[in-house]
Structure 1
Amino acid sequence: MRPIATMPLDVAARIKVLFADIDDTLTNEGRLPAVAYAALERLSAAGIAVAPITGRPAGWCDMIARMWPVAGVVGENGAFYFSYDQQTRRMRRNFAIDDAQRAADRERLEAVRTRILAEVPGAAISADQLYREADLAIDFCEDVPPLADGEVDRIKRIFEQEGAVAKVSSIHVNGWYGAYDKLTMSRSFAADILGVDLEADKSRIVFVGDSPNDAPMFGFFPNACGVANVLALRNRMDAAPAYVTTARGGYGFVEVANHILAARREVA
């Protein structure tokens, strides 16, 4: 991981899409700093398509797609994308799994939920679970005292023993049934909403993240960036970002935005 300041100006100036995780990437200590939100606005105003790629639930993502200065949002670790058309006042929703299968999968996840709560003392169901469409989120440090790494691994292992996919974020272990992740739904979102081919244009796309569930994105995008807190989790990730910021969370995200926008001005 190289400092974000070393990303070549000609590379940074050509960025046309920016994807970013939310928790501990746009946020800091659970809050969205004004400077991070302002950075989203500045990027959008400069003509860069911005989209959060998050593990957060459908209920939150509907609000984000409507009210934030973004082109859309991929939620629940790739279960769907939402994009709001301001002109037609229509929300476009695309799910990886159809309604009937999602309902059946939620029933299967109820058994997983019961097992995790019985076998991992201190774990809790995420407070945002009621707003989810496709996955089960287990809180290990957001609203509960932090669990040890071994207990977090145990939660992930239970999901996998039950046949589910499981990913660890900075606050939750998310589990679901279905062959999708952040990258697969980002492909669909980019093609459908942005008219962008992720494979052909990946050198002109930056992903900013912070945790193990961002590894598919880190591994795919050659100019992916991690905010500084990613360094503490690098041994738990299958792939690392090419660049890293000096600041944590939303303040690190601002570093990435500033570098891209400054490069555009310099090259122009």
Structure 2
Amino acid sequence: MTPLSQMPLETARSIRVVLTDIDDTVTSEGMLTASAYGALEELHRAGFLVIPVTGRPAGWCDHIARMWPVDAVVGENGAFYFRYDRERKTMQQRFWASPEELKRNRAKLDAIEAEVLASVPGSALASDQAYRMADLAIDFCEDVPALPESEVDRIVSIFERAGAQAKVSSIHVNGWFGDYNKLSMARTLLSDVFGMDWDEAKNAVVYAGDSPNDEPMFAAFPLSVGVANIEAFAHRLTSKPAYITKGHSGDGFAELARLLLDARRG
């Protein structure tokens, strides 16, 4: 991972779209700081497309799409995208699964929930689970004492034995049924809403993240950035980000925003 400060100026100038994880990438210790939120707003005002790509739930994503300075949001690790049209005051939504599939999948996830909570002492249902539509989030360190990595791996194995996908974020293990992830829905959004084909996106998009559930994005986008706290998960990553910030979490995201804004200003 090359220090972000060494990104060539012409490379930084080519970036028009900022995709970013939220937890521990834009936020710091669970807080959205003024500097990180300001970085989002400055990027948006400067004409960048700004799109959070997060594991957080549909309920949160409705709020983010409406009230944050962003152009759209991908949520629940790729289960959907939301885009709010402020002029028409309408919310555009696209889900990967049909309502019938979501209902069937929820029944299977309920069974996994029961097994995880019975089998992995100290794990808990994520506090935002009530606002989720497509996935199951198991808390291993957000609102519970941090579990050892071996227990996180046990949670992942329970999901996978049931045929579900499972991804580890900095705070949760997220599991779902369906052949999608952050990357597949981000690609769908860029094509559907912004008319950006894949060849164009690879040269115009930067992705910022901090944990293993960002790995599909790190692998896909040549211009990927890990905030400094990605180092804690580096041993779990086959595909690492191309660049790494000096700052942790929201400070690292603000560092990326400053670089992009300075490059655009010349």
The aligned counterpart of 1:168 is 168
The aligned counterpart of 2:129 is 129
The aligned counterpart of 2:4 is 4
Q: Does the 8 A contact of 1:212 with 1:238 survive in 2?
A: no
Distance 1:265 1:87 in 2: 28
Distance 2:262 2:194 in 1: 24
Distance 1:259 1:145 in 2: 36
The aligned counterpart of 2:256 is 256
Letter of the 1:61 counterpart? C
Q: Does the 8 A contact of 1:16 with 1:204 survive in 2?
A: yes
Structure 1 residue 264: Cα displacement: 1.2
Distance 2:143 2:46 in 1: 37
Letter of the 1:46 counterpart? A
Task: Give TM-score scaled by structure 1 length.
Answer: 0.98
Task: Give TM-score scaled by structure 2 length.
Answer: 0.99
Q: Does the 8 A contact of 1:138 with 1:173 survive in 2?
A: yes
Structure 1 residue 201: Cα displacement: 2.5
Q: Secondary structure at the match of 2:64?
A: helix
Letter of the 1:142 counterpart? E
The aligned counterpart of 2:90 is 90
Alpha-carbon RMSD: 0.7
The aligned counterpart of 2:81 is 81
Structure 1 residue 220: Cα displacement: 0.6
1:56-85 CA-to-partner distances (Å, cap 9, x unmatched) read 000000000000010000000000000000
Q: Does the 8 A contact of 1:19 with 1:52 survive in 2?
A: yes
The aligned counterpart of 2:112 is 112
Structure 1 residue 129: Cα displacement: 0.3
Distance 2:265 2:132 in 1: 41
Distance 2:166 2:25 in 1: 20
Aligned residues: 266
The aligned counterpart of 1:62 is 62
The aligned counterpart of 1:14 is 14
Structure 1 residue 199: Cα displacement: 3.2
Distance 1:115 1:150 in 2: 17
Distance 2:250 2:240 in 1: 19
Q: Could you list the runs of 5+ residues in structure 2 that have no partner in the other structure? A: none
Q: Which runs of 4+ in 1 moved over 3 A?
A: none
1:102-138 CA-to-partner distances (Å, cap 9, x unmatched) read 0110001011000000110000000000000000000
Mapping of 1:1-268 within 5 angstroms? Answer: 1-266=1-266
Letter of the 2:118 counterpart? A
Letter of the 2:226 counterpart? G
Structure 1 residue 198: Cα displacement: 2.9
Distance 1:198 1:56 in 2: 25
Structure 1 residue 19: Cα displacement: 0.2
Distance 2:260 2:227 in 1: 15
1:8-43 CA-to-partner distances (Å, cap 9, x unmatched) read 001101110000000000000000010111111110
Percent of aligned pairs with the same residue? 55
Distance 1:140 1:210 in 2: 16
Structure 1 residue 200: Cα displacement: 2.8
Distance 1:125 1:53 in 2: 22
Distance 2:201 2:117 in 1: 43
Q: Secondary structure at the match of 1:235?
A: helix
Distance 1:114 1:201 in 2: 41
Structure 1 residue 232: Cα displacement: 1.2
